[in-house]
Amino acid sequence: MLSTMQDGPLSIAHLLRHGSRVHAASEVVTWTGEGSRRSTYAEVGREAARLANALRGLGVTGDQRVGTFMWNNTEHLVAYLAVPAMGAVLHTLNLRLFPEQLTYIVNHAEDHVILVDASVTPLLAKVLPTFTTVRHVVVVNGDKAALSAPDGVTVHSYAELLAGQPDEFDWPVVDEHSAAAMCYTSGTTGNPKGVVYSHRSIWLHSMQVCMTDSMAVSQSDRALVIVPQFHAMAWGMPYAAFMVGASLIMPDRFLQPAPLAAIIAAEKPTMTGAVPTIWQGLLAHLTEHPQDLTPLGDVIVGGSACPPALMQAFDELGVTIIHAWGMTETSPLGSVSRPPAGLDPKQAWEYRVLQGRFPASVRARLIDDDGAELPWDGQTVGELEVAGPWVTASYYQLEAGGDGAEKFHDGWLRTGDVGTITPDGFLRLTDRSKDIIKSGGEWISSVDLENEVMAHPAVAEAAVIGVPDEKWDERPLVAVVLREGQQAAPEELREFLADKVAKWQVPENWTFVEEVPKTSVGKFDKKRLRAAFAEGRLDIRHLS
């Protein structure tokens, strides 16, 4: 027996039409460094139509990829809506990636057009000649003359390109399972991996972001979007806000503590979210420059575990930090730690420091080394696997058995995280099955670092582990075995890495050992290396 219900596609086009009409008066605010510029959702809808018409003129007629190399601002929101709504695919490019990684992901995704903020054109200019499929670059919020293009690439001014374009567009009906947007994650070894979101997954994820036991974004909110739009889709906040009519406050490139404090004072957001290092910096600033944080209520923290002391410090300022867990592969919302009802403050605190409870749409399980499922008893530790309608089932163009295939297991995503789950569905992360280092909410591959260090002629072996860091949560420690008769100081090795990895990935912590401990099959035994660090048996050199 079939239902009598209508079956219309869950599409970004419908979200765009709804938000710009029903919530026409809601606004998106972009910080300029000295003040704010404002647009209503109705104006965003009209600009989205003009952008879609302009992109049609640049040959975006199907599911071509349109890259964005941009900060959080109004124009980036317009692209978030227009590109997938017109049937193309939005590809957000991480401004913090190493140039070789940018080249790889742009060419792998086959981007046709790139929208770039004028302030970061120097970064793009360095790698633009290495892009094989890009035919157009559109410079936003600045002079296109600042960017010279190689043969075969045309540079446009965003303002000039949209001038005179119709402010209406015949948004096509697309299959809700078709691609809407894509992000690349570097949370695995080797090249970054592509995650492709569907219209359906974005729609369902947006509904979850708005649920009261989740991030609880509502029409009455003014949401400060600190999480970059190029990182895990800004945790889904732009689409969720447009769905329910919450106003958006975009910080553009002004992400330092002082400007964030100024934005909070001027625009009075009611909720926001970011990695812990953002809040550590803001707290230090507020200690020196106190200010009233009301009406800011909830702050969602993810990317890495939030120190309890930081949560307590913000409690004293009247701001509640709420743990969440997720990853690019989960759109990214996986769990949010809102304590069960009816608990006293002490009991509630014990839940708040966990990574959160899984919603109905995210199935979770813990697996042991043999693949057997483990109990949810809050004690038994296993590797976390998840599945659900906004969890990726593969990486983009992943060959069978290729690099990254090990992340998927019988229809489940292997998260690489290890922890426990309470009987009532709260996750507590305790470690990682892989040795990926999470620094300031971004991933650092220990294997990639090892390979680069071992490329130095004086180095025989190098093993990298993550060690605790007050500011960044974790930073890499490199254990080096020198070749017989060779010498190399940490300063020399650090300089050697300067043009091989992103600046923020270069390690500050170094130690020299006679031998890297090995497992029975000859692999680096990082468990023993971590134990040596914890017991103080390593002579650490820390470079400032």
Identify the active-site residue in 30, 92, 185, 328. 185
Mean pLDDT to the nearest integer, 312-334: 95
Determine whether 185 is an active site residue: yes
| pLDDT tens per residue, range 380-392 | 988 999 999 999 9
For residue 234, what are the CA distances in angstroms to 283, 328, 369, 498? 22, 10, 33, 29
Mean pLDDT to the nearest integer, 332-340: 97
pLDDT band of residue 280 (cuts 50, 70, 90) is: confident
**Whether the predicted pLDDT of 520 surpasses 50:** no
Determine whether 519 is an active site residue: no
Which region among 113-122, 151-160, 409-418 has the lowest average model confidence (pLDDT)?
409-418
| pLDDT tens per residue, range 197-211 | 999 999 999 999 999
Greatest C-alpha distance within the chain: 80
Residues in CB range of 400: below 8 A, 6 or more apart: none
Phi, psi (5° rounding) for residue 511?
A: -145, 145
Q: Which tokens is 46 given?
A: 């009209």
Identify the active-site residue in 47, 75, 176, 329. 329
Identify the active-site residue in 171, 443, 472, 510. 443
Q: Which tokens is 34 given?
A: 């000295």
Q: What is the pLDDT of residue 522?
A: 47
Domains and CATH numbers, the chain: 12-27+38-198+229-245 (3.40.50.12780), 340-432 (2.30.38.10), 437-542 (3.30.300.30)
Phi, psi (5° rounding) for residue 228?
A: -60, 140
The SS3 call for residue 154 is strand
Identify the active-site residue in 277, 438, 510, 511. 438
Determine whether 376 is an active site residue: no
Q: Which residue has the higher pLDDT, 202 or 287?
A: 202
Determine whether 443 is an active site residue: yes
